[in-house]
Chain A
Amino acid sequence: QQQVKQSPQSLIVQKGGISIINCAYENTAFDYFPWYQQFPGKGPALLIAIRPDVSEKKEGRFTISFNKSAKQFSLHIMDSQPGDSATYFCAARSSGTYKYIFGTGTRLKVLA
């Protein structure tokens, strides 16, 4: 119940295309859903985050879509660039404990 399932495991997108990464959860006590970007040998950096009372949030080229009834959320990267090539993790936070449960990660490669 504490798991966050993330797909796909890897993704190859042409420059200028849309990258879509999906996550699903079971625990209804999760109350905050961030997405992190991680480059090799570096710590994760926050990209964008959403709370369950909002269905969509957009920041620049990054959009989170959130479906509370389906317990799913996704990251859309518009106009994908080679510099976006990294590993992306979704996460879910347990209400009250502030602990994050991370998805398994998606390795994105954007071809020039």
Chain B
Amino acid sequence: GAVVSQHPSRVICKSGTSVKIECRSLDFQATTMFWYRQFPKQSLMLMATSNEGSKATYEQGVEKDKFLINHASLTLSTLTVTSAHPEDSSFYICSARPPAVSTDTQYFGPGTRLTVL
């Protein structure tokens, strides 16, 4: 089956620093990747849609200058949380969609737990 990985799985950083999270599709090319945020015991909230070779599309209320997304290749998208603050602490999950038109499914990564001190 399709595998999506994320790195790191956990990260702790100091307030004011930037953190980069990588999302890779390991066995398929993903023209579209999605970034979600999940607070404890809550649902997944879509942050942005990342398309290879173009600018990401952010959902309403998501600060594009704070959450920088780069989708430089068909297998890699990165999310950089800039000038992180404690309220940015959350579980960040990416998903990837294979390019075939007939494919409906998104495959999710294992998530990255970010803790900002």
Contacts and interface: CB of A to CB of B under 8 A. Distances in A.
Given A99-B34, A99-B46, A43 B108 contact: yes
B93 A44 contact: yes
Contacts of A75: none
A83 interface: no
A44 B44 CA distance: 9
A51 B44 CA distance: 21
- Chain B residues touching A, majority SS: strand
Contact of B113 (A41, A97, A105): A41
B108 A51 contact: no
A97 B113 CA distance: 27
A36 B105 contact: no
Interface in B41-100: 41-46, 49, 91, 93, 95, 97
Contacts of A107: 41
A43 B107 CA distance: 9
A62 B97 CA distance: 23
Given A32-B104, A34-B105, A46-B107, A100 B93 contact: no
Contacts of B95: 100
Interface string B1-27: 000101000000000000000000000
Interface string A10-45: 000000000000000000000010101000011111
Contact of A102 (B6, B44, B97, B104): B44
12 contacts: A34-B105, A44-B108, A46-B107, A46-B108, A97-B49, A98-B97, A100-B34, A100-B106, A102-B44, A104-B43, A105-B41, A105-B43
Interface of B: 4, 6, 32, 34, 41-46, 49, 91, 93, 95, 97, 104-111, 113
Interface pairs A-B: 8 shortest CB-CB: A43-B108, A43-B110, A43-B111, A32-B104, A102-B44, A102-B43, A44-B108, A104-B43
